[in-house]
Amino acid sequence: TEGPLWQFSIHSGHYETDTLSDSRDGEKYPIIKVGSYWWMSNNLNYSERGDSKCLNDLPENCDKYGRYYSVMSQDTIICPPGWVAPNRHVITELEKELGMSDKDINKHGVWRGKDQGSQLIPDGTSGLNFTFDGYQDNNGKWQGFGEFRVFGSYISRYLTPTRMVQKGYGGILHQ
């Protein structure tokens, strides 16, 4: 990492920020440490032939929103050296750090928590500023842009959505 290191506190904990420079292409990403994990607060924008797309297939959208990656992409291909896509355990740790109760953590198929989803979005208190960037479905249709954010984790080598934050809801859906 490079650049200044800033520290600040919010009601959910103590966070550090920094900048990650991707050695593969020189892209710079703001990063934030929540609990014991570092997170990118912008979407990854590394161009890997055949494994990434731009929103609506417009190259200028990659610069603005980052890239969307194939469910078959491997961490070693798309992530900067030393980084991996968050798995279920890491996402659960993030939810706990943001104040989600143990009772809510264990719920599935329902909206959970009180304001943890609101903390993750732009102007939220976590500093992560996750955007509502939707996804591309199995038929190639873009879904949910501007409405929700889907998180994934590796299960048997396949990336499957396990969490979703939706505009106007404070909680996090665990699918």
Element housing 92 (H / E) = helix 88-97
| Overall average pLDDT of the 47-72 stretch | 84
**Is residue 103 classed as helix, strand or coil in its secondary structure?**
helix
| Mean per-residue pLDDT, 43-65 | 87
pLDDT of 71 above 90 = no
- For residue 170 the two structure tokens come to 């404070």
Global pTM value: 0.80
Q: What are phi and psi of 23, to 5 degrees?
A: -65, -20
Mean pLDDT of all residues belonging to the chain: 81
Which of 49-63, 81-95, 133-147, 148-162 comes out lowest in average pLDDT?
148-162
Residue 3 pLDDT class (50, 70, 90 cuts): very low
pLDDT of residue 14: 64
Q: Is the pLDDT of residue 141 over 90?
A: no
Q: Which residue has the higher pLDDT, 10 or 52?
A: 52
The total of other beta-carbon atoms located within 10 Å of residue 90's CB is 16
pLDDT of 77 reads 80
pLDDT band at residue 133, thresholds of 50, 70 and 90? confident
Pair of tokens at residue 12: 């959910």
Is residue 14 within 8 A of residue 7, CB to CB? The reply is: yes
Which value, to the nearest 10 degrees, does the dihedral of the CA atoms of residues 157, 159, 161, 167 take? 160
